[in-house]
Every structure is written in C-alpha cells, then in structure tokens.
Amino acid sequence: MVMASRRRPCKLTPETETAPLPATARELFDALPSLPGLRAEVIDGRLIVSPVGTPEHARIAMLIYRALLPLLVQRGWDGFAGNVDVCIDGPRTPVEPDFVLAPPDCRRWGDRELMSSGLLMVAEVISPGSVEDDRVKKPSMYAAGGVPVMLLVDPITAPPTVTVLSDAKEGEYQTITRVAVGSTVHIPDPIGFDLDTAVFAEP
C-alpha cells in the first residue's frame, strides 16, 4: 500500500533551500525517519510504506524460524523473522522479507541492510495486500539479486500452499516446487532441508 500524507508547508531555512530533494525511490527511502509499526520497501520503482503484518502473518514467519532452528544451530547461521532490511545487489533496492536466512558474515550495505547476494534464503508470507508483489515482483527481484532460494507461504489461497523457488538464472528462478500445506517439501542447496509444511496448518 502506498501511503501519502498532506503536510503543511514548512518554513524554509538556508539549509533546506539548498538541500537537494530525493530524486529516486531509493533516495527517498534513505531520507525516511524511523517509522515504528510500518514497513518501507522499494518494489518496481515504487516506495511502498505499509503496516506490519497481522499477528497471524507474524506467526507464520516465526513458524519458519522454529522449523529451521535446528539447522541454524547446527550450521551457525542467522535467522531473522522480519525487521531486517535487504539490499538487492545492483539496483540497491531495499526490501524487508518476512524471513531471512543468512551466514553470520553476510555482507552489508551500510549498518542495517544485508546484501541479497550473501543470503541463503528469503521467505515471504502472502497477505491480501501483498499478492502481486509477493507472487510476481519479489521472486524476480530476489533471483536477480542472487538469493539462492525463496520460500513462499500462501495461507490465503485454497488450499493453502508452500512454494520453493530455486536455481536462479538471468533474473528468474528456474525450479518451482509447490505443495499443499500438510505435505513435505524439499528446500534445495545451500539449505538442504525437508520442510514439513504441516507446521503452517491452522491449529
């Protein structure tokens, strides 16, 4: 959801008169103040500011973390359920996946953003307001940015599904495996893990 607000004109000072205005969505993102309770991303050239997900949405992200926790401990990887920005290599577009799996030495853009080419996997949980971005736009962004594996959890389709996208070439994932929630799906290298998607079933 793109959010805009009508602000009152501010009084110009010598500093504001000469300061250049942001010319791109990336520059506008960099100029944003802290936005508690909101998520800011640049997708398809659009700066999108949206509310954080519902508790159900956040729960699924945490279930991904819990399912992969033994693997994280065994291999010394880091897992983040939201609140971590990713910088897509090349265009430097910032996104905030619902879940990120990364080695502890993953390269960064600045202090906050993990570089996409250093990640092991990202995951997105589809919500009614993110259908097109999560299903269509973000897979191409992650593939072009060098993310080896993308996990897509779709609780709003009937029946709910889990999709694994891998083998990125020329900005697209070449291998797509989709299963209904309740089945086991293999997450290929560099993860190498059989995920029991029954963890995403409604309690």
Structure tokens at 74: 């065994």
pLDDT band at 18 (very low <50, low <70, confident <90, very high): low
Are the beta carbons of 48 and 41 closer than 8 angstroms? yes
| Domain extent listing, the chain | 54-200
Residue 74, SS3 per DSSP = helix
pLDDT for 108-139, tens place per residue? 999 889 999 999 999 999 999 889 999 999 99
For 54-200, CATH number out of 3.40.30.10, 3.40.50.300, 3.40.190.10, 3.90.1570.10 equals 3.90.1570.10
Closest to 139 measured CA to CA, from 116, 156, 159, 160:
116
Q: What are phi and psi of 67, to 5 degrees?
A: -65, -35
Q: What is the Cα–Cα distance from 154 to 179, expressed in whole angstroms?
A: 10
pLDDT for 69-92, tens place per residue? 999 999 999 999 988 999 999 999
Choose the weakest-confidence range: 13-22, 118-127, 172-181. Answer: 13-22
Global pTM?
A: 0.85
Torsion, CA 156, CA 162, CA 163, CA 166, rounded to 10: 140
Are the beta carbons of 144 and 179 closer than 8 angstroms? no
Predicted pLDDT at 12 = 43
Share of the chain above pLDDT 90, in %: 67
pLDDT band at 17 (very low <50, low <70, confident <90, very high): low
Q: What is the Cα–Cα distance from 203 to 62, expressed in whole angstroms?
A: 15
Torsion, CA 185, CA 62, CA 154, CA 175, rounded to 10: -40
Predicted pLDDT at 34 = 82
